[in-house]
Every structure is written in structure tokens, then in C-alpha cells.
Structure 1
Amino acid sequence: MDEQYDAASQLESFPCDAVVAALAEIAGDPAQSDETLVALCAESLAEIWIHRGAVDRDLLARLTPHGRREAELTVAALAPGLLTRPA
């Protein structure tokens, strides 16, 4: 699991669409029981959105409740203005 956790938390450094899709698949999977992995994927998604300057609100809405909360907390802490911008 440590390798998965490391990968999930480091993927924010690769803000391409394929990485976003992979992170979203895990953070949006209601069958995913590893909340730590979901949180790390959601945090990496949030970091990518911050890097891109916009939150993908459709994708945010598709995350699991735990993933959505983690992504929102990350954006709120690092770039709170992104959450208040109109969609």
C-alpha cells in the first residue's frame, strides 16, 4: 500500500488528463474502501486544479463524499478563491 500512497500523492506533479482520469477513477469509486488512498487521490486532484487555476466542478461532484471533502479542504487551504469562482 505504501507504493500506492506514494504514487497517489506524487501524481499532482503530472497534471495531464490521463493522470486526472486515473486519480478520479479511484477518488470517485464508491466501492473503494481505502479512505487514505481516496484522500490522497483527491488531494492530488485538488493540487492539479490549483495548478490549472480552476476546479473541475463536474469531477468534484463525482468524487465520493470523503474524496470531495478532502479535495475541497485542500483547495480551501491553498487557493480558496478557486472555490468561490463561478463555474
Structure 2
Amino acid sequence: MRESAAERHDRLLGLVRERGSARVSDLASLLGVSAVTARRDVEELAGRGLLDRVHGSVSWPQEARAGGAAGPGSPRGGLVLGMLAP
């Protein structure tokens, strides 16, 4: 029997929560779904404010990390800053 979208979303959220962030392609492999399905799931969850999405990866929402609601294994304290330079 196939897993429902809600069950898959719960598993996806659990994976991101325990890692802090993940690449969409890695999530697709771990969930056993196509990259398109994982991308659509991520878009839906990000639209609901449950994930922060950037090109190619997702992370647990910044507010949840700052408020201490993050799960085990997620980054604590400190600011992560990234810069792209040509």
C-alpha cells in the first residue's frame, strides 16, 4: 500500500528536523520518491511556513530554531550566514 501525502510530509519534516537542513535530492532518495514529488512536497510545506526553502535545499524554519522548538540534532545558537561571489 502506498504512503499518503500526509504521511510522506510527516516523514519529510522529521528528516529535516533531525538534520537541520537537507538537499531536496537527498530527501527524494531517503523518502523513495522522485525529485519532482519531493520538490512539490517541499513547496507545499514551505508555503505553509513549516520549512524554509532555498534553491535545492530546505531547512527547519529560523523561528523554530530561535524559539527553541527545534528537534534534536538541529543547530543551536549562532547565526549562519552565506554569501555567493562571482
The two structures share one fold, judged by TM-score above 0.5: no
More helix, by proportion: 1
The TM-score range, normalised by the shorter chain, is: 0.3 to 0.5
TM-score by length of 1: 0.36
Q: Structure 2 length normalisation: TM-score?
A: 0.36
Q: Judging by fraction of residues, say which structure has more strand.
A: 2
Bigger radius of gyration, 1 or 2?
2
